């Protein structure tokens, strides 16, 4: 089903400010894991799909927003590996469907919209029981795919080469990816998480809980950087768009505005502010999600090149 092991390339980014400060900046191209099950979604879904098959489930249900990379990846993976899929979508249906949901529909996902108020009940037993009454039995893949099996998958982002860096940085949504990276680093080097939403410090508890569920341990070699959210989740400012377009022009690598654009903007700004020391090596994890650029440009007028 999913490949046993995928090793994605690490590329040097020749950033003028990093070079001036004597710092080496690299990017790990997790966006190249798969054309549709992109980046960290491939890692998060791998063991969940294996578990679903082991338990003889034929239907997967998951939750997300209308532009969700996770919804997009689950829909394709279900199509590819022979599962029925159901997507519980936050917010009312809008016509025409955006590219993310249209893809999901084309791949056979049953789309069900609920109100934002109802969506906030997503972890309640009564809410999940009502979904079973409506749709029948299913294997639940949580919002963003983050659970102990996702942590296990995300540990596979890290190999010997990745452990040679002084700092590892990744964007954070629900916390599963950075939890896997922290576990794989085994308390060594520094791991930085960049929440995509405002007031992202709440993720400290979520990440710690995911790690504890996975191996019962705690680590103190990580921290969150919570001030590069640009106004909140899926929010942006002109300087972020300019940065993403310039990054593509200079390095030939696409970023997107929800996660990876904010991540690289934050890293380069921290370099300018002297957060890292001369001679250190930084590795940014490109977690994919590039499918979301289509929806972003549909909403805001093709401003990402």
pLDDT tens track, the chain, 305 positions = 888 889 999 999 999 999 999 999 999 999 999 999 999 999 999 999 999 999 999 999 999 999 999 999 999 999 999 999 999 999 999 889 999 999 999 999 999 999 999 999 999 999 999 999 999 999 999 999 999 999 999 999 999 999 999 999 999 999 999 999 999 999 999 999 999 999 999 999 999 999 999 999 999 999 999 999 999 998 999 999 999 999 999 999 999 999 999 999 999 999 999 999 999 999 999 999 999 999 999 889 889 98
* The pairing of beta strand 167-172 with beta strand 281-285: parallel
> How far is C-alpha 182 from the geometric centre of its chain's CA atoms?
15
Whole-number pLDDT of residue 1: 81
Q: Which of 73, 46, 54, 51 is nearest to 62 (CA)?
A: 73
Q: How far is CA 99 from CA 7, 94, 104, 235, in A?
A: 29, 12, 9, 19
Structure tokens at 244: 């993403």
Whole-number pLDDT of residue 212: 98
- For residue 273, give every residue at least 6 positions away whose Cβ sits within 8 Å of its Cβ, in sequence order, or none: none
Q: Which of 184, 265, 175 is nearest to 221 (CA)?
A: 184
Whole-number pLDDT of residue 280: 98
Q: How far apart are CA 159 and CA 32, in angstroms?
A: 16
Q: Which of 205, 200, 153 is nearest to 180 (CA)?
A: 153
Q: Which of 202, 161, 157, 155 is nearest to 183 (CA)?
A: 155
Structure tokens at 250: 């200079």
Hey, how many other C-beta atoms are within 10 angstroms of the C-beta on 165? 21
Structure tokens at 92: 């009312």
Q: How far is CA 303 from CA 24, 101, 212, 236, 245, in A?
A: 30, 21, 41, 12, 9
Largest CA distance in the chain: 61
Whole-number pLDDT of residue 87: 98
- For residue 76, give every residue at least 6 positions away whose Cβ sits within 8 Å of its Cβ, in sequence order, or none: 36, 37, 103, 107
Whole-number pLDDT of residue 221: 98
Q: How far apart are CA 188 and CA 211, in angstroms?
A: 15
Model's pTM, two decimal places?
0.96
Domains of the chain: 10-35+148-300 (3.40.50.1100), 40-145 (3.40.50.1100)
Structure tokens at 91: 């917010």
Hey, how many other C-beta atoms are within 10 angstroms of the C-beta on 236? 20
Could you tell me the strand order of the sheet in which 281-285 lies? 10-13, 24-28, 281-285, 167-172, 190-195, 222-224
Q: Which of 61, 111, 69 is nearest to 91 (CA)?
A: 111
């Amino acid at each position: 089903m999913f490949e046993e092991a995928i090793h994605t390339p690490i590329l040097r980014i020749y950033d003028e400010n990093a070079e001036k400060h004597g710092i080496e900046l690299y990017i790990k191209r997790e966006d190249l894991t798969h054309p549709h099950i992109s980046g960290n979604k491939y890692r998060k879904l791998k063991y969940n799909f294996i578990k679903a098959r082991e338990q003889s489930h034929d239907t997967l249900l998951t939750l997300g927003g209308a532009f969700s990379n996770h919804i997009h990846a689950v829909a394709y993976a279900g199509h590819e590996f022979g599962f029925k899929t159901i997507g519980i979508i936050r917010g009312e249906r809008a016509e025409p469907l955006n590219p993310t949901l249209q893809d999901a529909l084309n791949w056979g996902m049953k789309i069900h919209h609920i109100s934002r108020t109802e969506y906030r009940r997503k972890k309640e037993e009564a809410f999940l029981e009502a979904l079973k009454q409506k749709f029948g039995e299913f294997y639940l893949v949580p919002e963003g795919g983050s659970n102990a099996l996702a942590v296990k998958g995300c540990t596979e982002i890290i190999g010997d080469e990745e452990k040679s860096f002084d700092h590892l940085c990744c964007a954070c949504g629900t916390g599963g990816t950075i939890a896997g990276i922290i576990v794989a680093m085994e308390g060594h080097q520094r791991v930085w998480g960049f929440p995509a939403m405002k007031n992202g410090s709440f993720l400290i508890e979520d990440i710690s809980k995911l790690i504890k569920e996975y191996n019962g341990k705690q680590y103190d070699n990580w921290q969150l950087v919570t001030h590069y959210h640009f106004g909140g989740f899926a929010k942006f400012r002109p300087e972020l768009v300019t940065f993403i377009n310039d990054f593509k022009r200079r390095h030939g690598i696409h970023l997107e505005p929800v996660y990876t654009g904010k991540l690289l903007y934050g890293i380069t700004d921290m370099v300018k502010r002297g957060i890292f020391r001369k001679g250190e090596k930084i590795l940014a994890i490109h977690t994919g999600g590039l499918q979301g650029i289509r929806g972003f440009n549909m909403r805001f007028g093709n401003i990402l090149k």
